[in-house]
Amino acid sequence: MARLPRFILPGQPQHVRGNNRTEIFCAEADYRFYLNKLRLACEKHGCDIHTYVLMTNHVHLLLTLRKSRA
């Protein structure tokens, strides 16, 4: 069964975690590429990243959406 959509309240921190657990970062350049794309996505969608953890096979993000996407 698919996961239910995330309930998002603008201004409230969310913990977001990747769940596939397959290797996604093989080299230092992979981490830099991901962080650059994450920065661009946050600028585009109005998110603030408070902290992140990049593991070889998943990520953890603590982020806040600044405004409603409605």
Work out how many domains the chain is built from and give that number: 1
**Does residue 54 sit within a domain?**
yes
Neighbours of 24 (CB within 10 A): 16
Per-residue CA distances from 13 to 2, 16, 31 (Å): 23, 10, 23
Backbone angles phi, psi at 64, to 5 degrees: -130, 130
Question: Do the domain assignments include residue 33?
Answer: yes
Residue 33 parent element (H or E)? helix 28-45
Supply the pLDDT for residue 70.
56
pTM of the model as a whole: 0.77
- What confidence score (pLDDT) does residue 10 get? 77
pLDDT value at residue 69: 61
Q: Tell me whether residue 51 is in a domain.
A: yes
pLDDT by residue, tens only, the chain of 70 residues: 677 777 777 788 887 877 677 898 999 999 999 999 999 999 999 999 999 999 999 899 999 988 766 5
| Position 4 in a domain | no
Domain range for 57 is 13-65
